[in-house]
Each structure stands twice: as C-alpha cells, then as structure tokens.
C-alpha cells in the first residue's frame, strides 16, 4: 500500500488495536493528535473504505469507528510486515536488547514525550 498516509495508518492501527468500537476521543488520547486531525484522518479512512462510523449508542453526541474488512486486512498486513522486519533487525543486531532494556527504553521515551507535551502547553 505505497503512498498510504502515515497519519491515516496510525489512526487505522489505533482502531485495530481495540476489539471494540473506538471513539474519536480514544484515538485522540492514544495518538496525541488534536481532535480535528483525528476527524480529518477518519474521514479519509471512511472515504477509502478502511473504516466505518456509527452513532455511539452510549453517547449520541459522538460516533464510534470500526474497521471494514479491507481495513482489517490492511491492519493485519501491517502487523505481519512489522513483526517480520523487527525479527530481521533483531537477527542482524548481535547485541539485541533484553526485555528489561526494552522496558526501560519505552519508559524513557514515554517520559520524554510527556515532557515535550508539557513544554508545548507551557509555551502557549
């Protein structure tokens, strides 16, 4: 799927992450995108038949998103390719990271992301 926009791929994969209907607000929280960006992204995904939306039965002011069959197939292909490429990288890296190093790295990256968000809020 050459040329598939990264923002839309990230949105698609965030919807695929959950086994149930996903609200735009949940996507916003998961990706750190602003609501308008998620709206644009989901509109594109709907137009291209990767996602469908329905009125949220728990809150009629919002909609929920589901993958179409085409969207689910793309998400599965992306997972499969990502896992295969990660395995290739791990095999090529003689000093692969231990599970503890991976956990520590993810913790550090999360802290950096959170500090960046805080800095952005403060600077407004």
The pTM of this model reads: 0.71
Please check the confidence at residue 77 and state whether its pLDDT lies above 90.
Answer: yes
| 29 in Cβ contact with 11 (< 8 Å) | no
| 67 in Cβ contact with 15 (< 8 Å) | yes
Model pLDDT, residue 1? 62
Please check the confidence at residue 96 and state whether its pLDDT lies above 80.
Answer: no
Task: Give pLDDT tens digits for 12-46.
Answer: 999 999 888 899 999 999 999 999 999 999 999 99
117 vs 12, residue with greater confidence: 12
């Amino acid at each position: 799927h050459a040329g598939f926009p990264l923002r839309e791929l990230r949105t698609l994969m965030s919807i695929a992450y959950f086994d149930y209907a996903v609200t735009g607000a949940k996507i916003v929280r998961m990706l750190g995108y602003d609501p308008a960006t998620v709206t644009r992204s989901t509109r594109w995904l709907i137009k291209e038949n990767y996602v469908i939306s329905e009125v949220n039965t728990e809150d009629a002011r919002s909609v929920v998103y589901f993958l179409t069959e085409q969207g689910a197939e793309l998400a599965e292909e992306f997972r499969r390719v990502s896992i295969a490429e990660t395995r290739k990288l791990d095999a090529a890296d003689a000093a692969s990271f231990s599970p503890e190093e991976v956990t520590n790295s993810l913790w550090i990256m999360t802290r950096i992301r959170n500090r960046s968000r805080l800095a952005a809020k403060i600077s407004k």
